[in-house]
Structure formats: structure tokens, C-alpha cells
Amino acid sequence: MRSGPMLKHIKGDLLALAERGKFDMIVHGCNCKNTMGSGIAKQIKDKYPEAYKADTEYDALPYQKLGNFSRVKIYSSTNFTIVNAYTQYDYLPRGQDHFEYASFAVILQKLAHYWGNYDFGFPYIGMGLAGGDSECIISMLEEFAVLVEAKGGSTTLVEYVP
């Protein structure tokens, strides 16, 4: 995969890295049906039930969630925020591309505008169970990284390695 100069690529556990203070904000993809039943969403739901609560309490009809996000601050020895980014409407049937690219672009624009000076961590968002095009998504993250770095923040893509 290609990488722009601003987007960092590392291997590791996104959640463990956040707990160690590597990121101010981690952003993961959610469907609009409040399941958080697989992938990193399930890990987050199990480890940080308050993130799942923020997902279920987001007050919008499912399709209206696209392009938006819910978030919750995790208070620990190193505080960080989990962003539940609504990047796909549904998750079935498996094996299809469910990733909503236009919605993701809007989410990235909002994050860069409001929190551009933060250090962001992303899993391989949309590139796994959502079936998204990795080249397209990484290109979007590269553009986001340029905006964020200009405001003093950073963007890291974390390939999951337990």
C-alpha cells in the first residue's frame, strides 16, 4: 500500500496504544444499526461499554447517522476519545462493499475542523468487514493527515497485531 508523507503506518493494538497515551482520539467505523458485533467495534463494545452506550443513544434515524459520529471520552491514566464513525449503513450480506465513502469524507472533514490539533489513531477502517477499497480509503486518510498535520496533529493507521 502506498503512503503519503503525513500518514504514519504502524503495527500494533490500537486500543492498547491509546491506553498508553499514543492517541488523543481513535476513530473506528460503525454501521448505523447499533450492533458493534464484530471486528474492532466488538472489542471496543466489550472493553469500553460507554462507547457502545454513546452509539445506542445517538439520537437519529439509522440512515441519518451516515456522515456523523458519536463519541465518548475514556478516562484512564491517559485520557482519550473514542469516535464511533458511521461509515456504513448495514453490514450484510458479507463480502460486499458496504463502506460509504462520501460519509467518511464528511466525517474526516468534521474531525479535522474541530480537532485537527489532536493525534488520531485509525484501525484499517472500512477495509475489513465493511469490504471497502483500501486504496481509496488510504488516499482519504492521507488527505486527512495533511489537514491535521497543518493544525499540529498527527494521523496514524494501525495494522492490528495482537
Q: Which CATH number fits domain 7-160: 3.40.50.2300, 3.40.220.10, 1.10.10.10, 3.40.350.10?
A: 3.40.220.10
Residue 1 is predicted with a pLDDT of 40
Sequence spans of domains, the chain = 7-160
Q: What are the mean pLDDT values of the chain's consecutive 10-residue runs (162 residues total)?
A: 72 97 97 93 97 96 96 94 96 89 98 98 95 97 97 97 90
- Which residue blocks in the chain are alpha helix, DSSP H? 14-19, 39-47, 49-57, 101-115, 134-150
Residue 152's region, left for phi above 0, alpha for psi from -120 to 50, else beta, is left
Cut 0.75: pTM above it: yes
Residue 19 is predicted with a pLDDT of 95
> For the residues of 46-84, what is the DSSP string, one character each?
HH-HHHHHHHHH--S-GGGGTT-EEEEEEPSSS-EEEEE
Radius of gyration of the chain (CA): 14
Sequence-distant (6+) residues with CB within 8 A of 150 are 116
103 alpha-carbon distance from chain centroid: 12
Residue 5 is predicted with a pLDDT of 65
Q: Within 13 A of 82's CA, how many CA atoms are on the CB side?
A: 28
Helix (H, G, I), strand (E, B) or coil at 118: coil
Q: What is the C-alpha to C-alpha distance for residues 32 and 64, in angstroms, rounded to an integer?
A: 8
